[in-house]
A and B are shown apart, each in its own frame.
Chain A
């Protein structure tokens, strides 16, 4: 039996490649020591297997498995959960290769490969990655096929397996899509909270220390996409606020807990904008919204500091609708304790900045003048750069008086410090500013590199007012976006590449909206478009069964076609085609009739037709009986002349005959004679 045979070298090589490719899909999040170790194990085993048959001794395998377990526990603390689980799975897969000797082992390993491959999608769901996973899937199917004995073409069996696997995948795609659309989605998870142990992802956080954004500024991955119901607001109004930071300890700004907004707050002087945001997973609860949001989407709440907080962390791409008032301001007065908190500064820090603020306070008539003085200072002698010098303990002083180089975080931080020192309540707001407008897609793409920080100052009677000190330093940052003004432009920032990436993003957006975000609600909406109003779980399964039955019917017809009579070479097929055409035209030959008898049969009914048929029959007889293998070109030539002859001489008769039959059938007076 097959289970007793061992794998051939080629079979094992393909298996090893498949296992390596499967593990490679996990490389991005495996611990840095694990990926090279596993690569080493797979390579060593493949090299060893080329020389010697036989599994690696258990005395080596067992300690390796224990070492793997210990290392995973050492790294993550446990083996359950997404990250340690997938790392452990990759490790076990590589170790399984050590004992794989028979096709049975190989099948187990390949089945496990499929599982590990799927778990890679828990980390990354983008279109390019999914396509990569599909490519590995083709490899896996080919490896399955390669385990079968007696491949067809022994000279290129690998190629044959890959071609077969590719065909199987292509054939399977329509059914897979039907299944994907129709499988009922779960209303709530059966176990665990999805991605409860999500890995760190770059993005905004609720802490801000000047200089921290640098990584973010270089991250070109999309943060979210915005589709506006009307015209998009102008670039200098595209501020998306996410987090408000109002506590400062001298180096770091942190978010103060703020209560929910109670009741609708009157807003003045504003233009209302409705829009839909598709947010990439952040593992955080904040939802960015255009400045200033006035209504929160479902499953989220509007906080007292005009930010939107979701009820649960965003672990899957999330889509929500929101409404904002551009340029709105709050007319409500600040309560005393709020005002004190918004004026609080760490005691003793940054004396020079405090002195400067006090001086402005004395020389200015009102708050607006203090703000103007601060902006004028930034405008006069500061430089916008993404690679600022590091700051020491009195970070605000050093920045204001010594280095004078920095980006949005530095300016927002220093500005708010100065305002508070001058007695004006102020706070830092982080979020995103600008983005890339996709004219063809009709949406605004906001990347992580569009992250921004600005300030808000309280002015009695007019409420919170947005002040962006970065705009005073580098107006281009606000008008054109961060990437264009970065002096540290890497090659990834070159214009044409950026443009290309922006254009490709439209495909990513379709993928995100069409596949990743295809949840139960979308499912119902889509089916409603097809006139299926009720689509509960049971109904969906019923439709799915129908689709499956239909697919099986089509497949069965395909599989059974040509089971009988479909023998012989091209010449035989050509001949049976001619016989079929003659039969359709009414010249029915007996099954055993040879070429001569056939042509005699035609002659008996129509001498002229037989005359024109004669050369064809002669040529067929010659090709059939004069050669062991009739020459290809002669057969093709005869085939085309048969087709031509049938068209010119038989088609009309066949159609007439069919019409007569139908007339007989619908005449109803006569019984059907044409049932033979």
Chain B
């Protein structure tokens, strides 16, 4: 029974979605900033509001039945207060603007926060709420002071994500009316792949030993050394080689040993997403261990290098790999 009802409800919602996009705001992401105005603010009494209306009706009947005019006056006053609260609540929403949606670095499936910047305009606004998924966050804004509202957010997949449809709503001032508006902001965040939990240790071949001196990721600081047969061709310092009359390569790390190579192709036996998760975990681990690393992906190679930029580049490249598995 409950399942049938839920099914009916979702089908009704889907129909509303198709027929009344203005009402539900799911289809078309909108460019920020978005200001709420009367055409997109909706009002319905809450369940408590309906119960309160019934209470008022009973009170009205009682007052009329007993011919008790002060009681009737009190009932009328309560009714008028309830009516006024509707407009006060509408006013709390009308003119509210969402300026931007921002997020820091995040990994798929990992809880982080979105920062929504709301502009209240010239009026202070209390008891506003924004709902994303099942999370409901209450906030208040003082006049002329745009304010960041932090919203818990767990991105579902790697790659470009939208936050999806936000429900900005309030029951201000008395909880009798629910006043809401949907915003589907056109704001996308790059979500890094999830990190494999308990990933195996970094692959061997990494030259950890010796007195390592990480030179950071800048190649200017790097020294030069003689060419070895397996050096990448793009590392050859052609001008210097001409001057010295022998092949020299840029040494991105002034240390002995080989750069760590994290190779997509080497991870046989794992499926596409699992490889990506492991590589992402290794990137983070290598960065934490200050070990210079290179990332080889089917379409691109990064590094070897070390540092926040390199890490971000690697994770970004991993995040943007096509979702379906690529042929090996």
Q: CB-defined interface of A146-176 with B at 8 Å, one 1/0 digit per residue?
A: 0111111110000010001000110111111
Q: CB-defined interface of B40-80 with A at 8 Å, one 1/0 digit per residue?
A: 00000000100110010011111111111111111111111
Most buried by A among B61, B74, B139: B74
Size of B's binding interface in residues, CB under 8 A: 65
A130 to B60 Cα, complex, angstroms = 17
A583 to B58 Cα, complex, angstroms = 55
Q: Is B90 an interface residue (CB 8 A)?
A: yes
Contact A560 B61 (CB under 8 A): no
Q: Is B238 an interface residue (CB 8 A)?
A: no
A551 to B76 Cα, complex, angstroms = 14
Contact B95 A566 (CB under 8 A): yes
Q: Is B174 an interface residue (CB 8 A)?
A: yes
Contact A130 B70 (CB under 8 A): yes
Contact A144 B175 (CB under 8 A): yes
The smallest C-beta distance from B41 to any residue of chain A, in angstroms, reads 9
Q: Is A555 an interface residue (CB 8 A)?
A: yes
Contact B79 A176 (CB under 8 A): yes
- Residues 119 to 158 of chain A near chain B (Cβ within 8 Å): 119, 121-122, 125, 130, 133-134, 137, 141, 144-145, 147-154
A481 to B70 Cα, complex, angstroms = 32
Contact A195 B66 (CB under 8 A): yes
Q: What A residues does B144 contact at CB under 8 A?
A: 567-569
A194 to B66 Cα, complex, angstroms = 5
Contact A189 B66 (CB under 8 A): yes
In the complex, residue of chain B having the shortest beta-carbon distance to the beta carbon of A151? B126
The smallest C-beta distance from A154 to any residue of chain B, in angstroms, reads 8
In the complex, residue of chain A having the shortest beta-carbon distance to the beta carbon of B120? A567
Q: What B residues does A563 contact at CB under 8 A?
A: 35-38, 94-95
Q: Is A117 an interface residue (CB 8 A)?
A: yes
A519 to B139 Cα, complex, angstroms = 48
Contact B172 A148 (CB under 8 A): yes
- Residues 242 to 273 of chain B near chain A (Cβ within 8 Å): none
The smallest C-beta distance from B129 to any residue of chain A, in angstroms, reads 7
Most buried by B among A1, A149, A191, A552: A149
Contact A121 B48 (CB under 8 A): no
A115-B55, A118-B74, A515-B70 known; A168+B122 contact, CB < 8 A: no
- Residues 143 to 185 of chain B near chain A (Cβ within 8 Å): 144, 170-175
Q: Is B142 an interface residue (CB 8 A)?
A: yes
The smallest C-beta distance from B84 to any residue of chain A, in angstroms, reads 5
The smallest C-beta distance from A300 to any residue of chain B, in angstroms, reads 18
Contact A516 B70 (CB under 8 A): yes
Task: Give the residue of B37, B66, B97, B139 whose beta carbon is less than 8 angstroms from that of A150.
Answer: B139
Task: Give the residue of A133, A147, A186 whose beta carbon is less than 8 angstroms from that of B65.
Answer: A186
A160 to B124 Cα, complex, angstroms = 12
Q: What A residues does B80 contact at CB under 8 A?
A: 171-176, 179
In the complex, residue of chain A having the shortest beta-carbon distance to the beta carbon of B131? A1
A177 to B95 Cα, complex, angstroms = 32
Q: What A residues does B109 contact at CB under 8 A?
A: none
The smallest C-beta distance from B287 to any residue of chain A, in angstroms, reads 39
The smallest C-beta distance from A174 to any residue of chain B, in angstroms, reads 8
Q: What B residues does A401 contact at CB under 8 A?
A: none
The smallest C-beta distance from B39 to any residue of chain A, in angstroms, reads 10
Contact B77 A176 (CB under 8 A): yes
Q: Is A183 an interface residue (CB 8 A)?
A: yes
Q: What B residues does A121 contact at CB under 8 A?
A: 68, 70-71, 74
Contact A145 B142 (CB under 8 A): no
In the complex, residue of chain A having the shortest beta-carbon distance to the beta carbon of B140? A150
Q: What B residues does A134 contact at CB under 8 A?
A: 74, 77
Q: What B residues does A393 contact at CB under 8 A?
A: none
Task: Give the residue of A180, A192, A556 whose beta carbon is less than 8 angstroms from that of B69.
Answer: A180
Q: What B residues does A153 contact at CB under 8 A?
A: 142
Q: Is B29 an interface residue (CB 8 A)?
A: no
Contact A562 B122 (CB under 8 A): yes
A118 to B88 Cα, complex, angstroms = 25
Contact B87 A556 (CB under 8 A): yes
Task: Give the residue of A117, A118, A150 whose beta carbon is less than 8 angstroms from that of B138.
Answer: A150
Q: What A residues does B207 contact at CB under 8 A?
A: none
Q: What A residues does B125 contact at CB under 8 A?
A: 152
Most buried by B among A104, A171, A176, A562: A176
Q: What A residues does B69 contact at CB under 8 A?
A: 125, 180, 515-518
In the complex, residue of chain B having the shortest beta-carbon distance to the beta carbon of A124? B70
Q: Is A2 an interface residue (CB 8 A)?
A: yes
A109 to B90 Cα, complex, angstroms = 26
Q: Is B121 an interface residue (CB 8 A)?
A: yes
A519 to B63 Cα, complex, angstroms = 12
A173 to B83 Cα, complex, angstroms = 12
Task: Give the residue of B48, B52, B59, B95 whose beta carbon is less than 8 angstroms from that of A118.
Answer: B59
Q: What B residues does A556 contact at CB under 8 A?
A: 87
Task: Give the residue of A122, A174, A191, A569 whose beta carbon is less than 8 angstroms from that of B68.
Answer: A122
In the complex, residue of chain B having the shortest beta-carbon distance to the beta carbon of A548? B83
Q: What B residues does A560 contact at CB under 8 A?
A: 38, 90, 94
Most buried by A among B48, B70, B91, B121: B70
A150-B127, A192-B65, A555-B87 known; A183+B73 contact, CB < 8 A: no
In the complex, residue of chain A having the shortest beta-carbon distance to the beta carbon of B81? A172
In the complex, residue of chain A having the shortest beta-carbon distance to the beta carbon of B78? A114
A508 to B48 Cα, complex, angstroms = 37
The smallest C-beta distance from B62 to any residue of chain A, in angstroms, reads 7
Most buried by A among B121, B144, B173: B173
A567 to B48 Cα, complex, angstroms = 34
A558 to B126 Cα, complex, angstroms = 18
Contact B173 A164 (CB under 8 A): yes
Q: Is A190 an interface residue (CB 8 A)?
A: yes
Task: Give the residue of A150, A516, A517 whose beta carbon is less than 8 angstroms from that of B126.
Answer: A150
Contact B173 A147 (CB under 8 A): no
17 contacts between A and B (CB under 8 A): A2-B136, A111-B48, A114-B78, A115-B59, A117-B74, A121-B74, A151-B127, A172-B83, A189-B66, A190-B64, A191-B65, A192-B65, A194-B68, A316-B68, A515-B69, A564-B35, A564-B37
- Sorted nearest first, the 5 A-B pairs with minimum C-beta distance are A172-B80, A149-B138, A179-B76, A152-B126, A148-B127
New A-B contacts (17) at CB < 8 Å, excluding given A133-B74, A172-B84, A563-B36: A104-B48, A114-B55, A118-B63, A125-B68, A133-B70, A134-B74, A137-B77, A144-B174, A150-B128, A152-B127, A153-B142, A160-B126, A173-B77, A175-B80, A190-B64, A194-B66, A562-B121
